[in-house]
Structure 1
Amino acid sequence: MNDTSPLQLYGHPFSSYTWKALIALYAAEVPFTFQIVDPDHPENISVVQSAGPLGKFPVLADGENLLFEATTIIEYLASHQAARQMLIPGDPDAATGMRMLDRVFDNYVMNAMQDIVGAYLRDRENPDMALVTEARERLERSYAWLEGWLRFYPPSDHVTLIECAAAPALFYADWVHPIADQFPRLRQWRAHLLSLPPVARCVEDARPYRAGFPLGAPDRD
């Protein structure tokens, strides 16, 4: 990464939504500087808190322009930094379908996974099992839907908005609610996503932080 780049990405290597933006940056080979957001870097926390109403990362800084929300960052990269139609297709209908899948991974996979993680972070010994059970049921329904959708979306080495959203969502979701053998396409696609160089880089950079995962960081992946 180039320290002289005008682009700065603020986030944390273990954050699923930070991964989402990083995958797009790596895939598009866009020069940027990564700014870690943690207690040792209060100046970076200040930037993130100034960007949006809830002070959440990732945040992309392009000069004085601050953008928050990972999907917005990818849209910005697709318009201003990446090769034409690389991350998001130019065809309006294809782009609409891609954005719909982006919402599926964020709202129906990532959010359910984070609900489970949040329950254990609040009380590791006595999590709210009603909440956990309901979130696991949502993940199971999402896995079943994605298994059917994958009949029409074969694995590809080309990284789009879909892969950026799917890789971190499925990586962590499988930790909290393993993808069962009855979903072979989804299991295979998750493995394929983790083999993509931009995703593999995120996996490796996040490895030192696994001990902090409340359900226990598995020694696989």
Structure 2
Amino acid sequence: MSLTLHYHPLASFCWKPLIALYENGTPFASVIVDLGDQQSRAAFLEIAPSGKMPALRDDARDRTVLESTIVIEYLAMHYPGPVELVPADIDLAIAVRQADRFYDLYVQEPMQKIVGDRLRPEGRTDPFGVEQARDQLRNSYAIIEQEVASRSWAVGDAFTMADCAASPALFYANKVEPFGDKYPAVKRYHDRLLQRPAFIRVIEEAQPYFKLFPYNDG
């Protein structure tokens, strides 16, 4: 098998390429990385010296691809499937990439700030930074509320890379800063994502690890 994804089932940025792979039924092997295990960590650092997941190894093309968005772009280019995650139309592709960046930078990043603060030692937390992150999430929800009110997916009527990014971003963000009743369109969009078979599979595979998530609600 040519493709191997090195990842962790709980890591939100790893969910993005997993969803892409499952959407198109792309054959791949998987290696779960445990950075807390010396042997697993050392093996992964040989592949990705930054220590950041995910990493896609393509033995057939002798390439290692890092960063979730770039992994999906690489798959779309070299291993395309029936779901066109990166549209051929240039303008639409730009819109998809812009939405992908939005969900990573303005939903995932503040969400991870909040989660990371929960994991800090006593006396080393950052309450002000957490409140800033919560403000950013609420602002992002307001933007998404307007954008998805008349759309099926993040960018129009087709599922794309932007939705691969939105799926883990909104799933985890809703755990740390719930949508509530103020953002009904965001909730409906989130519910549609949760019904996507590829996303269902990713969540099911992560289930045994949710007990490690500091905002776990069961």
TM-score between both structures, scaled by the size of structure 1: 0.90
Counterpart residue type for residue 154 of structure 1: S
Question: Structure 1 residues 129 and 7, CA, compared in 2 at 3 Å: closer, same or farther?
Answer: same
- Counterpart among 83, 86, 110 of residue 112 in structure 1: 110
**1:1-221 alignment to 2 at 5 Å?**
5-38=1-34, 44-63=40-59, 64-83=62-81, 86-123=84-121, 127-155=125-153, 158-215=158-215, 217-219=216-218
How far, CA to CA, are the matches of 1:16 and 1:154 in structure 2? Answer: 22
Tell me if structure 1 keeps the 8 A contact 2:107–2:173. Answer: yes
Task: Report the alpha carbon displacement of residue 152 of structure 1 after superposing the two structures with TM.
Answer: 4.1
Which sections of structure 1, spanning at least 5 residues, go unmatched?
none
Percent of pairs identical after alignment? Answer: 39
1:164-220 Cα distance to aligned partner (Å, 9 max, x none): 1000000000000001211101001111101101000111111111111112x113x
RMSD: 2.1
Q: Distance in 1 between matches of 2:6 and 2:191?
A: 27
CA distance in 2, matches of 1:18, 1:192: 20
Ranges of 4+ aligned residues in structure 1 off by more than 6 Å: none
Bigger shift: residues 204-213 or 31-40: 31-40
Q: How many residues align?
A: 214
CA distance in 2, matches of 1:190, 1:80: 29
User: Partners of 2:157 and 2:146 in 1: how far apart?
Assistant: 20
Structure 2 gap segments, 5+ residues each = none
Q: Distance in 2 between matches of 1:102 and 1:134?
A: 22
Tell me the amino acid that sits aligned with residue 182 of structure 2. Q
